[in-house]
Every structure is written in structure tokens, then in C-alpha cells.
């Protein structure tokens, strides 16, 4: 058997096709809303139907089920990390284009915001964005998670903690990765986070934003 043929086989796939496969897979993975999945598993109401109507961990917490909220947080974060990890690990081996990882970063995040499996009604992406950063550079990701926890604990307002970390994330990625496509993908993710929190920003300004657990 020609071992050279087996070794080189992954590189025989067209670069564009390989990259598109990773991007589509990332979008589909991002489209799995763990708020909805976990709520069904725990026989809770659809997270779209109460509180803020946002299918995310903070809103699931308003159901009173802390375990469901924790699993939602972990699931939404893990899918962001997994998509980027797979693209970084296997993309080069299978001959993916240089833009594969930045595109996967955006695809898994957009999948969470507009999930094909849930009528394109997704969450705001805080946990998924954290998972993405953890995969890109885990020390930075842990630092941002710590900042979120401190802000959330201190002010008891999830959106304020999210907006603070969303503003800091691109700066941190620029510092650790430099001026590369992955960094600009995180700039886009941060911009989308602010856009998804536009109603929260208005409520913060008006002093009417909900506190965590309310």
C-alpha cells in the first residue's frame, strides 16, 4: 500500500470546499440553542416565552432552575470553543484556506444569533463569544470570563457585564494575536454583541434594566 497517498489524501480536497465545510458545520453547531434544548430536558417553559424572551443562560435562570441555566451556559460556550478548535486543528491538515478560522468564528456566532433549528430566533451570544475567545487564546478567555463574573457579581446586571467584556475582547485579542484576520473576526463578534444588546443599552440608560435572577 502506498502510504504517501494515504498521508496526502486530506490535502487533495479543494481548499474552498474544505473551508466551506467547516463554515457550514460551525453555523449548524452554533444553531443548537442549549437554552431551548435544556429547557425541554428539564420540562421548563420555552425561554422565548418569559422574562426577556432571550434564549440564554440568564433568562433560563429566571425560571428558577439553576442547573438548567448552568448547562445552558456551558453548552453555548462549548459549541463556540468546539467549532474554533476543530477549524484550527483540522483545517490546515485538510488544506483549508487561510480564512477558514476567522470565517468559522463568525459562522458559529451567527448560528447562535440566528439558529436555523429554532426559526432564526437565537440568543445574544455572550457565552458563545466567550467560548470562541477561549479557543483562540485560553488565558485571555479566562481573563474575560473573570471580568464578566466580577461585573455580574458587583452590579447584578448581566447585560452590563456582557457589554464590558464585549468592549474589552477585541482589544485583548489585538494584544495577544496582533493584526490578523482572527482578530478582525472578533471585532465583528463584539459589534454584533453590542447590536444584540441594543435594547439592554436603552434600558441601562433609562435605569430599567433587569437584574440577574429577577
Asked whether residue 211 carries a pLDDT value surpassing 60, the answer given is yes
Q: What is the pLDDT of residues 80-137, one digit of tens each?
A: 999 999 999 998 888 888 999 999 999 999 999 999 998 898 999 999 999 999 999 9
Report pLDDT for 208: 82
The whole-angstrom separation of Cα 74 and Cα 44 is 18
Q: State residue 2's pLDDT score.
A: 47
- pLDDT of 10 over the 80 cut: no
In this predicted structure, the answer to whether residue 5 has a pLDDT above a threshold of 90 is no
Out of 43-57, 101-115, 159-173, 191-205, pick the least confident. Answer: 43-57
Residue 157's pLDDT is what? 87
- Give CA 50 to chain center in angstroms: 22
In this prediction, residues 20-36 reach a mean pLDDT of: 96
Alpha-helical runs (H) found in 31-137: 34-41, 57-61, 66-90, 100-113, 126-136
Task: Look at residue 94 in the predicted model and tell me its pLDDT.
Answer: 87
Report pLDDT for 213.
56
Locate 209 and state its grid cell.
434594566
| pTM summary value | 0.89
d(CA 193, CA 149): 17
> Which pLDDT does position 13 carry in this prediction?
66
pLDDT tens-digit map of 29-79:
999 999 999 999 999 999 988 887 889 888 898 888 899 999 999 999 999
- The count of C-alpha atoms lying within 13 angstroms of the C-alpha of 49, restricted to the half-sphere facing its C-beta, is 6
Taking residue 61's Cβ as centre, other Cβ atoms within 10 Å add up to: 20
Burial readout 67-98 (b: 16 or more C-beta within 10 A, e: otherwise):
ebbebbbebbbbbbbebbbbbbeebbebbbbe
Residue 7 banded pLDDT, cuts 50, 70, 90: very low
* 10: exposed, middle or buried (Cβ count in 10 Å: 0-12, 13-18, 19+): middle
Cβ atoms within 10 A of the Cβ of 2, count?
Answer: 7
Amino acid at each position: 500500500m502506498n502510504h504517501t497517498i494515504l498521508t496526502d489524501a486530506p490535502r487533495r480536497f479543494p481548499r474552498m470546499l474544505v473551508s466551506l465545510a467547516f463554515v457550514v458545520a460551525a453555523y449548524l453547531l452554533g444553531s443548537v440553542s442549549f437554552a431551548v434544548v435544556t429547557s425541554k430536558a428539564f420540562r421548563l417553559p420555552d425561554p422565548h416565552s418569559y422574562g426577556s424572551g432571550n434564549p440564554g443562560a440568564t433568562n433560563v435562570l429566571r425560571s428558577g432552575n439553576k442547573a438548567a441555566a448552568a448547562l445552558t451556559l456551558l453548552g453555548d460556550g462549548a459549541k463556540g470553543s468546539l467549532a474554533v478548535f476543530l477549524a484550527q486543528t483540522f483545517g490546515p491538515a485538510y488544506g483549508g484556506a487561510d480564512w477558514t478560522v476567522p470565517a468559522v468564528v463568525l459562522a458559529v456566532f451567527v448560528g447562535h444569533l440566528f439558529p436555523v433549528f429554532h426559526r432564526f430566533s437565537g440568543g445574544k451570544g455572550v457565552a458563545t463569544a466567550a467560548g470562541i475567545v477561549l479557543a483562540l487564546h485560553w488565558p485571555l478567555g479566562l481573563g474575560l470570563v473573570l471580568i464578566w463574573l466580577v461585573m455580574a457579581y458587583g452590579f447584578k446586571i448581566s447585560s452590563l457585564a456582557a457589554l464590558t467584556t464585549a468592549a474589552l475582547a477585541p482589544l485583548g485579542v489585538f494584544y495577544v494575536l496582533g493584526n490578523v484576520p482572527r482578530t478582525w473576526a472578533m471585532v465583528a463578534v463584539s459589534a454584533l454583541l453590542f447590536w444584540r444588546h441594543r435594547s439592554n443599552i436603552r434600558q441601562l440608560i433609562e435605569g430599567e434594566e433587569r437584574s440577574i435572577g429577577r
